């Protein structure tokens, strides 16, 4: 388990709570890394990502559940946060409180892409939950 009480762990947890974008890297069938920016919700135990069911990342995770997540660095290349974890495709909806937190976090983002909450729920209805296993960075 990751120590989110250490100085670095606290800083990483703080950034996970505030940041809007995280880079999810999956592995394709050739073993090639496939990074992509995604919206996410950190609940202090796992990272929640919603996806369209037919997205490539879903197929990658089904075949290779180990993923990495990266937060952007500072402009000078510092404040690096990298999480290695195991992703699971959930066969059920998330608890309502998590969905509410997620939609609250991305209300502005949804407006920017001209999408309603209902449209989001209908299109991005596959849930990926990632359990962090290792934390790296500076």
With helix as H, strand as E and coil as C, how does 55-80 read?
CHHHHHHHHCCEEEEEECCCCCCCCC
Residues 33-57, mean pLDDT to the nearest whole number: 96
The pLDDT value recorded for residue 27 is 97
- 112 and 73 in contact (C-beta within 8 Å)? no
- 26 and 57 in contact (C-beta within 8 Å)? yes
Residues 35-51, mean pLDDT to the nearest whole number: 96
Answer yes or no: is pLDDT of 73 > 90.
no
Asked whether the whole model's pTM tops 0.75, one would answer yes
Full set of structural domains in the chain with CATH: 7-137 (2.30.110.10)
Answer yes or no: is pLDDT of 51 > 90.
yes
Q: Quote the CA–CA distance of 35 and 46 in Å, as a whole number.
A: 19
Answer yes or no: is pLDDT of 76 > 90.
no
E strand intervals along the chain:
22-27, 33-38, 41-42, 47-51, 66-71, 81-90, 126-137
Answer yes or no: is pLDDT of 77 > 80.
no
CA dihedral angle for residue 100, residue 103, residue 24, residue 129, rounded to 10 degrees = 20
Q: Which residues of 85-106 are buried (b: 16+ CB within 10 A; e: fewer)?
A: bebeeeeeebeeebbebbeebb
Q: Quote the CA–CA distance of 68 and 54 in Å, as a whole number.
A: 20
């Amino acid at each position: 388990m990751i120590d989110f009480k250490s100085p670095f762990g606290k800083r990483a947890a703080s950034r996970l709570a505030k940041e809007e974008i995280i880079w999810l890297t999956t592995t394709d069938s050739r073993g090639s890394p496939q990074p992509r920016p995604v919206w996410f919700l950190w609940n202090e135990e796992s990272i929640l990502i919603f996806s369209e069911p037919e997205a490539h990342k879903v197929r990658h995770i089904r075949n290779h559940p180990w993923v990495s997540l990266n937060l952007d660095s500072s402009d000078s290349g510092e404040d690096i946060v990298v999480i290695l974890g195991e992703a699971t495709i959930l066969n059920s909806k998330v608890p309502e409180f998590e969905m509410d937190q997620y939609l609250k976090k991305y209300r502005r983002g949804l407006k920017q892409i001209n999408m309603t909450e209902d449209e989001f729920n209908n299109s991005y209805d596959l849930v990926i939950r990632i359990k962090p296993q290792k934390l790296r960075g500076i």
